[in-house]
A and B are shown apart, each in its own frame.
Chain A
Amino acid sequence: MKEVVIVSGKGGVGKTSVAAALAILFQENDLNLVALDADVDAPNLALLLSAKDDERVEDEIEVSEKAFILADRCIYCGQCVESCSENAIMQPDLEEPPIIIPYLCEGCGKCAIICPEEAIEIRAVKGGKIINSKNNANGFTIITGQIAIGETGSGKIVTEIKKRGREEAQRVNADVLLVDGAPGTGCPVIAAITGANYVIIITEPTPSAMKAFERITYIAQHFPLGIGLIINKSDLHEPSKAQILEIARKNNVEVLGEIPLDKNVPYSIAQAEPIVTYAPESPAAVALKLIAERLLQSLRFS
């Protein structure tokens, strides 16, 4: 079983669209797969893969710890307010217990230690959801991680869905575990890359995407895995594209392929359909088929 993770360094370069297209193309190449959506802030893979609503199974998980004030023990001294280095505690009314601002609280426990009345507890809170669904057309499982608004702990959700993804992959004897990673270079991305066999970096030829490409390449090189590059909207700006190819060459990043600017793509996204099924003869779809072939070769599936 090969674990393939798709990252982008920068958001909006087409990571999820490519992930969905590759999932479909792998299936068309008779591979058994499980798909994971590790873009836990804004998971869209299941949407794009037309996951059936009536086959959804949701599961809440604990992702972080927060402070809770036990009102009946509080003596309103306000020492917790001063002690909090995140400014996550306020006491607007000095005759009432202070209030914890959950989205600023890191659960470090300082307030609980400082409190002279032991009136503060640190408790685990459920802030994440894991959703199992099935792709409409092809029936493969999609496991989605989602973090609640304002919560921290996205790395934890990613680690958990990866674990479940591997279990499911084992159960169905999958050839590939395809992971749509989060944009950026933060800890959910690192959690997604950890343990993968191959990382696909998607970028576009613009100055801001290029900088992000360098960052994500640097990070990916710290892991024992193959790295491949896909340049999306490749004819947007030739000089930037040339620079990206040079960076790839210098860093031993395999170029899987280029996808040209294609008006069919935004239309397919608006229909929430992968380009390879929406317009299979379009330039983007054709490019993706070539990329899938090259990728399967690199993964030794052909």
Chain B
Amino acid sequence: MNIKKIGDFMKIGVASSLPEGLDSPVDERFGRCFMWTVVEVDDNKKVINVELYENDARNARSGAGIQSTQFLSQLGCSVAIAANFGPTAFTALNSLGFEIIQCDLQLTVQEALDRYLSGKYKSLEEPTKPKKAGVS
């Protein structure tokens, strides 16, 4: 019988602007977000592990989206959640088969996660145009 353990399940990388785990605000940007909250979710959609990582790409001269994609991929993530995905990040994530999830502005990691897991969001088919809070 194949018993799965922590590390074998689906991993979701959520762009975050503070190191507060599931209570962190979701960062607007993907490539240059402040840090990553990597959430592992079991087959019953239950959170079984949360890890925090600094985002070295945030100060990158260029290619932050690519560096971030590489980083999440090497951690084993298959889903990326942020409020925006620029064209470079989108192409990079898409090429590796990520689910690219654009969430609403001003959510916490927990809120974005809940909406994703309940099927509210669909994977993006093209990069986002930045959404602005307030009147547009």
Interface size of A by CB at 8 A reads: 14
* B119 at the binding interface (Cβ < 8 Å): no
Q: Mask for B120-134, Cβ within 8 A of A = 1, else 0?
A: 000000000110111
Contact (Cβ within 8 A) B133 A170: yes
Contact (Cβ within 8 A) B61 A1: no
* B135 at the binding interface (Cβ < 8 Å): yes
A-B contact count, CB below 8 Å? Answer: 18
Contact of B61 among A156, A170, A173, A197 (CB under 8 A): A156
**Residues 257-285 of A contacting B (Cβ, < 8 Å):** none
On chain B, the residues within 8 Å of A195 by CB distance are: 130
Contact (Cβ within 8 A) B129 A224: yes
Question: Separation in Å of the B66 CB from the closest CB of chain A?
Answer: 16
Contact (Cβ within 8 A) B132 A1: yes
* Distance, CA A124 to CA B129, complexed state (A): 30
Which residue of A is nearest B60, CB measured?
Answer: A156
* Distance, CA A107 to CA B62, complexed state (A): 12
Which residue of A is nearest B59, CB measured?
Answer: A62
* Distance, CA A156 to CA B32, complexed state (A): 11
Q: Mask for A139-157, Cβ within 8 A of B = 1, else 0?
A: 0000000000000010010
Contact of A65 among B61, B132, B133, B136 (CB under 8 A): B61
* Distance, CA A156 to CA B63, complexed state (A): 11
Contact (Cβ within 8 A) B132 A64: no
Query: Which residues on A are within 8 Å of B, measured CB to CB?
Result: 1, 62-65, 107, 124, 153, 156, 170, 173, 195, 197, 224
18 contacts between A and B (CB under 8 A): A1-B132, A1-B133, A1-B134, A1-B135, A62-B59, A63-B61, A64-B61, A65-B61, A107-B61, A124-B59, A153-B61, A156-B61, A170-B133, A170-B134, A173-B134, A195-B130, A197-B136, A224-B129
Question: Top 6 closest A-B pairs, CB basis?
Answer: A195-B130, A1-B134, A1-B132, A62-B59, A64-B61, A224-B129
